Amino acid sequence: MKENQWLKIGFQLAAIVLALLFTTLVLLMAGASPLQAYLNVLEGIFSSTADITNVLAAWIPLLLTTSGVLITFAAGLWNIGIEGQIMLGAVFTTGALRLLENSSLVGGWIILLGFLAGLLGGALWGALAGVLKTFGGVNEIFGGLGLNFVATAFALYLIIGPWGRPGIASTSGTLLFPTRLWLPTPTNVALSPWALVVGILSAVLVYFLLRGTYFGLRLKAVGKNMRAAFLLGVPTWQYSMYAFLLCGAFAGLAGAVQVTAVYHRLIPTISSGYGFLGLLVAMLINYQAIWAAPIALFYAALNIGGIQLPIVMKMDSSLSGVLQGILVLFVLMVEGARQRLFEKR
Amino acid sequence: MTSIGLLISLAGILYGAAPIMFGVIGETITERAGIINLSMNGTILLSAMVGFAVAYGTGSLLLGFLAGALIGGLVALVVAFSSIALKQSQVAVGFVLAVLCLNLSYFLGHAYISKNGPSMNILPIAGLDKIPILGTLFFRQDLMTYFSFVIIFLTWFWIYRTRPGLMLRGIGERPAAAYVRGADVNRLRYIYTFLGGAIAGLAGPTFSLDVKAGWAGQLSGLDGYGWIVLSITIFGGWNPFRAAFGVYLFSFLQWLGLVLQPVLPNIPTQVLQVAPFPLMILTLLLVNIGNAEWINRMMATLPEGTRRLVARLLRALRASPPASLGVPFDSE
Amino acid sequence: MNVELKDIHKTFGAVHANAGISMDIPGGTIQGILGENGAGKSTLMKILSGFIRADQGEILLDGHPVSIHSPADAIRNGVGMLHQDPLDFPPLRVIDNFILGRSGGLLPGEGAALQDFKKLAGQFGFSLDPQAYVDSLTVGERQQLEILRLIWLGARVLIFDEPTTGISAQQKVKLFAALRLLAKQGMTVLFVSHKLEDVEGLCDSVVVLRQGYLVGSVKPPYDTHQLVEMMFGKEVTLGARSAGCAGEVAFSLRNLAVEDYRLHIGEINLDICHGEVIGLAGMEGSGQALFLRAVAGLVRTVGGQILRGDRDLTGRNYHFYKRGGVAFLPASRLEEGLVAGLNLTEHVILAEEATGFSINWEKGRQLAQSRITEFNIHGTPVNTVESLSGGNQQRTLLALMRVPLDLMLLEHPTRGLDIESTIYIWNKLKERCQQGTSILFVSSDLDEILQYSDRVLVFFSGRVTPPLDVSTLTTEKLGELIGGMGWPESKNEASVHERKPVA
pLDDT digits (tens, 9 = 90+) for B95-147: 999 999 999 999 998 888 888 878 777 777 777 777 777 777 788 788 888 89
Q: Which residue of B has its CA nearest to A338?
A: B86
Q: What is the ipTM of this complex?
A: 0.91
Residue A20 inside a domain? The answer is no
Q: Which residue of A has its CA nearest to B98?
A: A325
Question: Which range is least confidently modeled, A311-315, B28-32, B205-209?
Answer: A311-315
Q: Distance between CA atoms of C146 and C81, rounded to whole angstroms?
A: 9
Which of A28, A69, A138, A307 to mutate to test binding with chain B, by most B CBs within 10 Å of its CB?
Answer: A138
Question: Which range is least confidently modeled, A26-30, A186-190, C244-248, C254-258?
Answer: C244-248
From the CA of C90, how many Å to the nearest CA of chain B? 8
From the CA of B327, how many Å to the nearest CA of chain C? 16
Q: Which of B319, B24, B23, B27 is nearest to B192 (CA)?
A: B27
Can you give the pLDDT of all 503 residues of chain C as single tens digits?
A: 888 999 999 988 777 888 889 999 998 999 999 987 778 888 899 899 888 888 989 999 988 999 888 888 898 899 999 988 888 998 889 999 999 988 888 888 888 999 999 999 998 888 899 998 888 888 889 999 999 999 999 899 999 988 887 787 888 888 999 999 999 999 999 999 888 888 888 999 999 998 888 998 998 888 888 888 888 776 554 554 544 465 688 888 888 888 877 778 888 888 888 888 999 998 877 888 899 999 998 988 888 888 887 788 888 888 988 888 899 999 888 889 999 989 999 999 998 887 788 888 999 999 999 999 988 888 889 888 988 887 888 889 989 988 788 899 999 998 878 777 888 889 889 888 888 889 999 998 888 888 899 899 999 887 888 888 888 888 888 888 888 888 876 543 333 444 444 43
C441 CB-near residues (< 8 Å, 6+ apart): C277, C278, C279, C280, C408, C409, C410, C411, C413, C452, C453
Q: What is the DSSP letter of A176?
A: P
Q: CA triplet B237, B242, B245: central angle to 5 degrees?
A: 135
Residues of chain B in contact with residue C70, where contact means CB-CB under 8 angstroms, are: 182
Give residue C491's pLDDT.
Answer: 40
Q: Tell how far CA B283 is from the center of its chain.
A: 17
Q: Distance between CA atoms of B254 and C307, rounded to whole angstroms?
A: 60
- For C330, the closest of A212, A213, A231 (CB atoms) is A231
Q: At what angle do helices A49-74 and A214-224 cross, to 10 degrees?
A: 70
Count structural domains, chain A. 1
Cβ–Cβ gap C92/B182 under 8 Å = no
From the CA of C379, how many Å to the nearest CA of chain A? 15
Q: Distance between CA atoms of A54 and A190, rounded to whole angstroms?
A: 7
CB-CB contact of C68 with C48 (8 Å): yes
Q: Distance between CA atoms of B205 and B228, rounded to whole angstroms?
A: 17
Residue B288 belongs to domain spanning: 3-317
Three-state DSSP class for B320? Answer: coil
Give residue B159's pLDDT.
Answer: 93
CATH number at residue A69: 1.10.3470
Give residue B216's pLDDT.
Answer: 84
Residue A16 inside a domain? The answer is no
- For C322, the closest of A220, A224, A233 (CB atoms) is A233
Three-state DSSP class for A17? Answer: helix
CATH number at residue B219: 1.10.3470
Residues of C with CB under 8 A from a CB of B: 70-72, 75, 87-92, 96, 99-101, 103-109, 300, 502-503
Asked if A233 reaches chain C (Cβ–Cβ under 8 Å), the answer is: yes
Residues of chain A in contact with residue C326, where contact means CB-CB under 8 angstroms, are: none
Q: CA triplet C482, C240, C459: central angle to 5 degrees?
A: 15
C314 CB-near residues (< 8 Å, 6+ apart): C301, C304, C305, C306, C307
Residue A113 inside a domain? The answer is yes
Q: Concatenated DSSP letters for C449-481?
A: HHHH-SEEEEEETTEEPPPEEGGG--HHHHHHH
Residue type, C236: V
The answer, yes or no, to whether residue A33 has pLDDT greater than 80, is: yes
Residue A206 inside a domain? The answer is yes
Q: Which of C415, C346, C344 is nearest to C383 (CA)?
A: C344
Could you report how far apart the first and last alpha carbons of chain B are, in Å?
Answer: 64
Cβ–Cβ gap B315/C88 under 8 Å = no
Which of A24, A134, A145, A308 to mutate to test binding with chain B, by most B CBs within 10 Å of its CB?
Answer: A145
Residues of chain A in contact with residue C349, where contact means CB-CB under 8 angstroms, are: 214, 217
CA distances in angstroms from B167 to B161, B324, C72, C241, C417, listed in the order given = 11, 14, 14, 58, 41
From the CA of B40, how many Å to the nearest CA of chain A? 13
C229 CB-near residues (< 8 Å, 6+ apart): C476, C479
C54 CB-near residues (< 8 Å, 6+ apart): C8, C9, C10, C18, C47
Structural domains of chain C, with CATH:
3-232 (3.40.50.300), 235-325+404-503 (3.40.50.300), 340-401 (no CATH)
Count structural domains, chain B. 1
Which long-range contacts link A133-136 to residues 24+ away (Cβ below 8 Å)? A133/A77, A133/A240, A133/A244, A134/A237, A134/A240, A134/A241, A135/B292, A135/B294, A136/B284, A136/B285, A136/B288, A136/B289, A136/B292
Q: Distance between CA atoms of C35 and C56, rounded to whole angstroms?
A: 22
Give residue A19's pLDDT.
Answer: 93
Asked if C340 reaches chain A (Cβ–Cβ under 8 Å), the answer is: yes
A91 CB-near residues (< 8 Å, 6+ apart): A121, A151, A154, A155, A158, A255, A266
Q: Distance between CA atoms of C35 and C42, rounded to whole angstroms?
A: 10
Residue B283 inside a domain? The answer is yes
Kind of pairing, strands C311-312 and C56-61? unpaired
Three-state DSSP class for C3? Answer: strand
Is residue C16 within a helix (H) or strand (E), and if so which, with residue range?
A: strand C15-25
Q: Distance between CA atoms of A112 and A118, rounded to whole angstroms?
A: 10
User: What does the longest C-alpha to C-alpha distance in chain A come to?
Assistant: 69
Residue type, B227: W
Residue B324 inside a domain? The answer is no
Asked if A106 reaches chain C (Cβ–Cβ under 8 Å), the answer is: no
Phi and psi at C489, nearest 5°, equal -65, 135
Cβ–Cβ gap C91/B170 under 8 Å = no
Cβ–Cβ gap C101/B181 under 8 Å = yes
Asked if B185 reaches chain C (Cβ–Cβ under 8 Å), the answer is: no
Q: Distance between CA atoms of C347 and C322, rounded to whole angstroms?
A: 16
Q: Concatenated DSSP letters for C375-401?
A: HT-SS-TTSBGGGS-HHHHHHHHHHTS
* pLDDT tens digits, A96-154: 998 888 888 787 888 899 999 999 999 999 999 999 888 887 888 888 988 998 898 88
Cβ–Cβ gap B88/A325 under 8 Å = no
Q: Which of A246, A243, A241, A245 is nearest to A134 (CA)?
A: A241
Cβ–Cβ gap B173/C87 under 8 Å = no
Residue B309 inside a domain? The answer is yes
- For B311, the closest of C71, C100, C503 (CB atoms) is C503
Cβ–Cβ gap B178/C101 under 8 Å = yes
**Residues facing C328 on adjacent strands:** C409
CB-CB contact of A288 with A154 (8 Å): no
Residues of chain C in contact with residue A233, where contact means CB-CB under 8 angstroms, are: 319, 322, 350-351
Give residue B320's pLDDT.
Answer: 65
Torsion of CA B288, B294, B298, B299, to 10 degrees: 40
Residues of chain C in contact with residue B180, where contact means CB-CB under 8 angstroms, are: 71, 87, 101
Asked if A234 reaches chain C (Cβ–Cβ under 8 Å), the answer is: yes
Give residue C420's pLDDT.
Answer: 78
Give residue A1's pLDDT.
Answer: 54
Residues for chain B: how many in total? 332
C269 CB-near residues (< 8 Å, 6+ apart): C253, C254, C255, C256, C466
* Tally of CA atoms within 13 A in the half-sphere of C69 that contains its CB: 1
Residue type, B52: F
| Chain A: partners with 3+ C-beta pairs within 8 Å | B, C
CA distances in angstroms from A117 to A184, A202, B255, listed in the order given = 19, 17, 36
From the CA of C81, how many Å to the nearest CA of chain B? 10
Which of B99, B218, B235, B297 to mutate to test binding with chain A, by most A CBs within 10 Å of its CB?
Answer: B99
- For A214, the closest of C335, C342, C354 (CB atoms) is C354
Residue A244 inside a domain? The answer is yes
Residues of chain C in contact with residue B323, where contact means CB-CB under 8 angstroms, are: 91
Residues of chain C in contact with residue A227, where contact means CB-CB under 8 angstroms, are: 335-336
CB-CB contact of B202 with B22 (8 Å): yes
Cβ–Cβ gap A26/B107 under 8 Å = yes
Q: Tell how far CA A61 is from the center of its chain.
A: 6
* pLDDT tens digits, A246-284: 999 999 999 999 999 888 889 888 888 899 999 999 999
Residues of chain B in contact with residue C502, where contact means CB-CB under 8 angstroms, are: 311
pTM of structure: 0.88
Average pLDDT of chain B, as a whole number: 84
Residues of chain B in contact with residue A171, where contact means CB-CB under 8 angstroms, are: 268, 270
Which of C100, C161, C316 to mutate to test binding with chain B, by most B CBs within 10 Å of its CB?
Answer: C100
Three-state DSSP class for C32? Answer: strand
The answer, yes or no, to whether residue B40 has pLDDT greater than 90, is: yes
Cβ–Cβ gap B102/A326 under 8 Å = no
Strand boundaries in C74-156, DSSP class E: 79-82
Residues of chain C in contact with residue B237, where contact means CB-CB under 8 angstroms, are: none
Residues of chain A in contact with residue B292, where contact means CB-CB under 8 angstroms, are: 135-137
| Mean pLDDT along residues B246-259 | 83
Residues of chain B in contact with residue C89, where contact means CB-CB under 8 angstroms, are: 169-170, 173-174, 177
CB-CB contact of C23 with C214 (8 Å): yes
Q: Distance between CA atoms of C409 and B235, rounded to whole angstroms?
A: 44
Residue A207 belongs to domain spanning: 55-306
Q: Which residue of A has its CA nearest to B110?
A: A316
